[in-house]
Amino acid sequence: MDERLLSEKTVLLGASFPDKVAAIRACGELLVAAGYAERPYIDAMVARDEMSTIYIGNGVALPHGTEASRRYVKRTGLAIVQVPGGVDFGKGNVARLLVAVAALGEEHIDLLTEIAQICVDDEMLDRLINAATASELLSVIAPERGDAPEKD
């Protein structure tokens, strides 16, 4: 995975939220703070879940904006929020890992493919959900980066 897409500053570990909207908004705040998106993108992420759940299964949710909200994306990037206690996405779906996406053009297709591969690997997913540090989490996603994740 391209190291410019994810860094320690877009990883939040050990989070807890009262509901899915708060969790989605926290993901959006990370994307905005990292310069991947403008603030209106956060509302679009919430709207996207209202249109059709962003819960993708196996304890993972994929917050992202609506098609119309792409104009608020500055550059492609990811944020990962670990929620050990889980957050309810309805119908018995509890997410323990949220992988937020802000993507320009069709770049999100490759990102979604990489994320899907991670999420179907139970061992890798368990390591992400239980990572104690952002560096540890990043080493699971991009082991070729070694112990030197981007810290910008």
Per annotation, catalytic residue among 64, 79, 83, 89: 64
Active site residue 108: no
Listed by start position, the domains of the chain span: 8-142
pLDDT at residue 48, rounded to an integer: 97
- Looking at the domain covering 8-142, what would its CATH class be? alpha beta
Helix-helix angle 107-119:122-130, to 10 degrees:
90
Tokens at residue 60, please?
A: 């993972």
- The CA distance from 3 to 77, in Å, is 9
List, for residues 93-114, the tens digit of each pLDDT value.
999 999 999 998 776 677 677 7
Amino acid at 94: V
Structure pTM? 0.90
Q: Confirm if 25 and 97 have CB atoms less than 8 A apart.
A: no
